[in-house]
Amino acid sequence: MAFQLAGKKYLVTVAGRGIGRELTKTLSEHGCKVYALSKTKETLDIHSAECSNIHTIQADVGNWNEMRKQLSNTEVLDGLVNNAAYATEGKIPSLEVSKDYLDKIVCANLFGTINAIQIIGSKMVAARKPGSIVNVSSLLSLQAIPEYLPYTVTKCGVDMVTKQFALELGPHNIRVNSINPTLVLTENIKHFLASGDNRDKLLLERTPLQRAAEVREIVNPILYLLSDYSSMVSGTTNVIDGGLMSSFG
């Protein structure tokens, strides 16, 4: 499908791996100028080597001031995709989650999303530039899962950030939506599946389509939300779960 994105300019955060990496490459292939942000130089170097229209920015999405500094000179864009999805310490009972770990996940997943929208969105508003912002949330913003409190709470927050900015940026013709995927077959998820993680097995057993999502099955809906095909779509959470939510209850 031709999403007619050629000539558009976007920022993709956490662009060095998984969904972010595939999305950055795909936007580039569609003729977009892409700013790829990651804290890992090696992954950014790969992007630079692959595509001349990918411009790299090294920054930690969880570091508020560093993000502001690194993005301060960015040109006015047509939008961005917030792709932070940190949950680095695995299974932790909710009664045992430390404040330090909560701080880390909140800063990356929630504050990082708000920060990027404020930086890029302010420039779009000042320039009277219409556009689209997509936040990569999660199915787990809508459904609790054992021992995953920091992730589920922050992704639930991302959904409300989406609605709040959709409300306030709508008059400026800037749309804001969330994508809420189930398990996606990134390298990290493949590792978890191979390790026999019970949470992942629980989700797959309840999925009517009986499989996890391929990365492209998340990237394509993001392209739709960035494009003018979704010109009346804003403030929505878009569940991509193979029917999983229909089996809870």
Q: Which are the catalytic amino acids?
A: 151, 155
Alpha-carbon distance 169 to 79, whole Å?
12
Alpha-carbon distance 60 to 83, whole Å?
12
Would you give the DSSP letter of residue 78? S
Query: Roughly how many angstroms between the first and final C-alpha of the chain, as a whole number?
Result: 36
Contact call for residues 147 and 95 (beta carbons, < 8 A): no
Alpha carbon of 118 to those of 69, 85, 122: distances in Å? Answer: 13, 19, 6
For residue 228, which amino acid is it?
D
Continuous H helices in 7-110: 18-29, 41-50, 64-71, 99-105
Alpha-carbon distance 214 to 87, whole Å?
20
Burial class from Cβ neighbours inside 10 Å (0-12, 13-18, 19+) for residue 198 reads exposed
Contact call for residues 136 and 19 (beta carbons, < 8 A): yes
Contact call for residues 115 and 64 (beta carbons, < 8 A): yes
